[in-house]
Amino acid sequence: MTGAESLMRSLELEGVKTLFGYPGGAIIPVYDALYDHHDTLNHILVRHEQGAVHAAQGFARVSGEVGVAIVTSGPGATNTVTGVADAMIDSTPLVVICGQTGAAQLGTDAFQEVDVVGMTQPISKWNYQIRRAEDVAWAVSRAFYIARSGRPGPVVLDFARNAQVGEVDFEPARVDFIRSYVPAPKPDAEAVAEAARLINNAVKPLVLVGQGVELAGAQQELRELLEKAQIPAGCTLLGLSALPTGHPLNKGMLGMHGNLGPNVMTNQCDVLIAIGMRFDDRVTGNLKTYARQAKVIHFDIDPSEFNKLVHADCKVLGDCRETLRALLPLIKPNTHQSWVDGFAPYAEQEYNKVIRGAIHPEGGPLLMGEVVRAVSEATQHQAVLVTDVGQNQMFAARYFQFSQPRSIVTSGGCGTMGFGLPAAIGATFGAPGRTVCLFVGDGGLQMTLQELGTIMEQQAPVKIILLNNNYLGNVRQWQTMFWNHRYSFTPMMNPDYELIAKAYGIPARTAVERPDLAAAIDEMLGTDGPFLLQCAVREEDDVLPMTPPGANVDEMLLEIQ
């Protein structure tokens, strides 16, 4: 069979059922082979290669499976670079397959030839150029093994055209071992025992919950730890759905726009227990003052994260599901009641100064926070939240509530505007039985607006909530706070989004007045298939609290002076 057919067989052996892509000249042999596999491989035609990789990310994040994208060479490959970088920093398992000129033409500046391997090497977990049909099965199996094992990440396969059309006697390959690659080291009993000793002796312990808990499927082990020792927890942006919002020990979101309590208490705890998180600068603020009073225990699968930013007194290497399971029998029941109660005044202060006005405004235009909370309540907090990047992202993260794991899909480390719409499409295929709600701003929506065509063709049931404030809102807020209200190129002239949606056959409605909001949300959720709900929100709404850049983590502003 051809190398292209070998690819199809190899994808099927890896359990792939859904892939996202866009054809082109250098990948035609693969698409020709795909023509005969439509019963087993559901290919979603996106409208731009960036949409393919972001959709694959959304699929992977909610399903726990490897997302797959197929594109052509040259601009097709370069259009995926943003998504590959995004997936790398957010630990999302992807396999991106790019067409390439024939091996004999490599290095000659042939039509649509670019150095895919060179471009993606720094931003991928592994990449490889397939130059022979004989190498296809091995390369695919290795790619999936690397992408899904250990700390997940993106893998790029650069598929030369001669390898696609060359013939090979197909032999299934199964790569499950690579010399010197230890994806999930076995827990070190001494490190686990030391972690237990520190936790058992702690008076003011605090757990920081990262996405690693979701990736490892360690949600139950996390809850058992918190409940056994009665330890309060804060969650990173990507770890928000690892612990139900309503859990009494969940004290909210960490970071620049997180909740007051967990941020302030970070600098008061005596033992800081970081589980599957990397101490991102948006979480820590000023590293010179971050948790200096605390003994730090760091659970992570990636040894490169230890001591990278925050010194760890106890480093527990391994899959956090396994390390937490080893830890639990060693943990003594405790209460820490006065410490847990100490979060309440901060929560009350934040509610009175920020939250109440954000979700229960007394008048004026619609606010982003009230729209987010209203949608969350209308879905009984069961929906998958997808966001774009900017104020829509921060308001959504703060006011959406979670009851199930793997329920947040957002661009964390890379902060990619345009991520939301294609990622939401992918999420509908990765979690077909769940409601997928996308919160997006007017700026981010226009970056990948063409993917409305994918929604139209697939009838992907994305509930798009457009928070339209006619600004690039996050940048505008910084200009307000730190740049003397000099709104340099942040006001937006917007098209008629409702008319655009209708052109794609997507039902749409605009909510302007507060009394219209509930009925508009009901119509959106009651409509089968996709829907666009545009909300005309206050133009100069600000996300608070906020830790100013470079400030200490506990120096949060509750209002803008």
Q: What is the pLDDT of residues 380-404, one digit of tens each?
A: 999 999 999 999 999 999 999 999 9
pLDDT higher for 253 or 560?
253
- Report how far apart the first and last C-alpha atoms of the chain are (Å, whole number): 69
The residue among 14, 168, 169, 174 whose CA lies nearest residue 94 is: 14
Band of pLDDT at residue 537, cut at 50, 70 and 90 = very high
Q: Averaged over 409-428, what is the pLDDT?
A: 98
How high is the pLDDT of residue 75?
Answer: 98
H/E/C letters for each residue in 317-373? ECCHHHHHHHHHHHCCCCCCHHHHHCCHHHHHHHHHHHHHHHHCCCCCCECHHHHHH
Number of CB atoms found within 10 A of residue 33's CB? 20
487 to 392, 439, 545, 548: CA distances (angstroms)? 19, 24, 21, 19
- Which residues make up the CATH 3.40.50.1220 domain(s) of the chain? 189-344
Contacts of 516 (CB under 8 A, 6+ apart): none
Q: E strands along 119-204, which residues? A: 126-130, 154-160
b/e map 181-217, b = 16+ CB within 10 Å: eebbeebbeebbebbbebbeebebbbbbbbbbbbbbe
| Phi-psi category of residue 406: left, alpha or beta, with phi > 0 → left and psi -120 to 50 → alpha | left
Band of pLDDT at residue 361, cut at 50, 70 and 90 = very high
Tens digit of each residue's pLDDT (9 = 90 or more) over 53-67: 999 999 999 999 999
The residue among 165, 76, 159 whose CA lies nearest residue 117 is: 159
Q: What DSSP character marks residue 400?
A: -
CATH superfamily of 365-536: Thiamin diphosphate (ThDP)-binding fold, Pyr/PP domains (3.40.50.970)
Per DSSP, helices labelled H in 14-133 are 28-34, 49-63, 75-78, 81-89, 116-120
Structural contact between residues 205 and 273, judged by C-beta atoms closer than 8 angstroms: yes
Q: Averaged over 118-138, what is the pLDDT?
A: 98
Written as one letter, the residue type at 558 is L
Instruction: Tokens 């941020």: give the residue.
Output: 263
Task: Look at residue 284 and tell me whether its pLDDT is greater than 80.
Answer: yes
443 to 417, 448, 489, 512: CA distances (angstroms)? 8, 10, 12, 19
**For the domain 189-344, what is the CATH code?**
3.40.50.1220
Number of CB atoms found within 10 A of residue 17's CB? 12
Tokens of 379: 């879905």
Percent of the chain with pLDDT over 90: 100
Q: What DSSP character marks residue 205?
A: E
- Which residues make up the CATH 3.40.50.970 domain(s) of the chain? 3-165, 365-536
Mean pLDDT of the chain: 97
Report pTM.
0.97
CATH superfamily of 3-165: Thiamin diphosphate (ThDP)-binding fold, Pyr/PP domains (3.40.50.970)
Q: Rounded to an integer, what is the distance from CA 167 to the centroid of its chain?
A: 39
Q: Averaged over 332-346, what is the pLDDT?
A: 98
Tokens of 46: 């996106």
How many angstroms separate the CA atoms of 480 and 475, rounded?
9
How many angstroms separate the CA atoms of 387 and 424, rounded?
8
283 to 89, 141, 223, 278, 417: CA distances (angstroms)? 15, 36, 22, 9, 20
Tens digit of each residue's pLDDT (9 = 90 or more) over 437-471: 999 999 999 999 999 999 999 999 999 999 999 99
| DSSP helix/strand/coil, 438 | strand
Number of CB atoms found within 10 A of residue 224's CB? 16
186 to 149, 298, 309: CA distances (angstroms)? 14, 16, 24
Task: Look at residue 561 and tell me whether its pLDDT is greater than 90.
Answer: no
The residue among 363, 322, 316 whose CA lies nearest residue 515 is: 363
How many angstroms separate the CA atoms of 314 and 319, rounded?
16
Q: Determine the Cα angle at 222 with ends 219 and 224, to 5°.
A: 110
How many angstroms separate the CA atoms of 66 and 45, rounded?
18
Tokens of 361: 């405004």
Secondary element (H or E) of residue 20: strand 18-21
| DSSP helix/strand/coil, 125 | coil
| DSSP helix/strand/coil, 286 | coil
How high is the pLDDT of residue 251?
Answer: 98
